[in-house]
A and B are shown apart, each in its own frame.
Chain A
Amino acid sequence: GAGVSQTPSNKVTEKGKYVELRCDPISGHTALYWYRQSLGQGPEFLIYFQGTGAADDSGLPNDRFFAVRPEGSVSTLKIQRTERGDSAVYLCASSLTGHVNTEAFFGQGTRLTVV
């Protein structure tokens, strides 16, 4: 596709449930990032993939959060035992390489609401 695609665009789930958020990056982009944007805040880094491997997952808040990118393209962010504090917009971005001088392109995000 022309841009980074994230599905679903909105997700409402009950506290304690498991959710999966999907990111389809721009074709050919090897680097993929997940960010989380809480209300009134800027995006905060969660995890970075270079190809299939998670090169840096230091931003994941705890072990309830996990992300995969098994074939180096689509990525899934998985959240177990969701809590109300997980409510946020989850943004995915991709770039041609992981080099800092390459532009990151963002998707529209998935708005997660935990009730």
Chain B
Amino acid sequence: AQSVSQHNHHVILSEAASLELGCNYSYGGTVNLFWYVQYPGQHLQLLLKYFSGDPLVKGIKGFEAEFIKSKFSFNLRKPSVQWSDTAEYFCAVNGEGTYKYIFGTGTRLKVLA
């Protein structure tokens, strides 16, 4: 079955700490991968996406993610978090030729000032 797993449900970090959020997927065939962020009281926004090419993808606000095909992973990273990064982060996948996103359950990140 197609699925996305986010292993960390809640993460608490201090400002300037480094961040890595795990995402693993199960999907037969070629995939497109996404990270969305939802700030408190706001709508889901696209952080970054991978379709093909360089497996290291850079997104907005200093975030990046690396697609490791052999591990079926697409982990999100940021070298130094800020208080304003407090939000919920969702990993999502869709398959080549499809439009349905399959989302993970999300990771709530809290950054302490």
Q: Chain A residues in contact with chain B, CB under 8 A?
A: 3-4, 31, 33, 35, 40-45, 48, 56, 59, 91, 93, 98-101, 103-104, 106-109
How many residues on chain B are close to A (CB under 8 Å)? 25
Name A104's closest neighbour in chain B (CB-CB): B101
- A43 vs chain B, min Cβ distance (A): 5
Please give the distance in Å from A92's CB to the nearest CB on chain B.
Answer: 10
Q: Which residues of B pack against A, CB within 8 Å?
A: 4, 32, 36, 42-46, 49, 51, 90, 92, 94-106
Minimum CB–CB distance for B5 against chain A, Å: 11
- Interface class of chain A by DSSP: loop
Extra inter-chain contacts (8) besides given A35-B103, A48-B100, CB under 8 Å: A4-B43, A40-B105, A41-B105, A42-B4, A48-B99, A56-B100, A100-B96, A100-B98
Question: Which B residues touch A109, using CB under 8 A?
Answer: 43
Q: Which residues of B contact A103 (CB under 8 A)?
A: 46, 49
CB contacts (< 8 Å) of A35 on chain B: these are 101, 103
Whether A42 pairs with B43 at a CB distance below 8 angstroms is: no
Assess the A108–B100 pair: CB atoms within 8 A: no
B44 pairs with A106, CB closer than 8 A: yes
Establish whether residues B103 and A42, one from each chain, have CB atoms under 8 Å apart when the complex forms. yes
Cross-chain contact A3 with B90 (CB below 8 angstroms): no
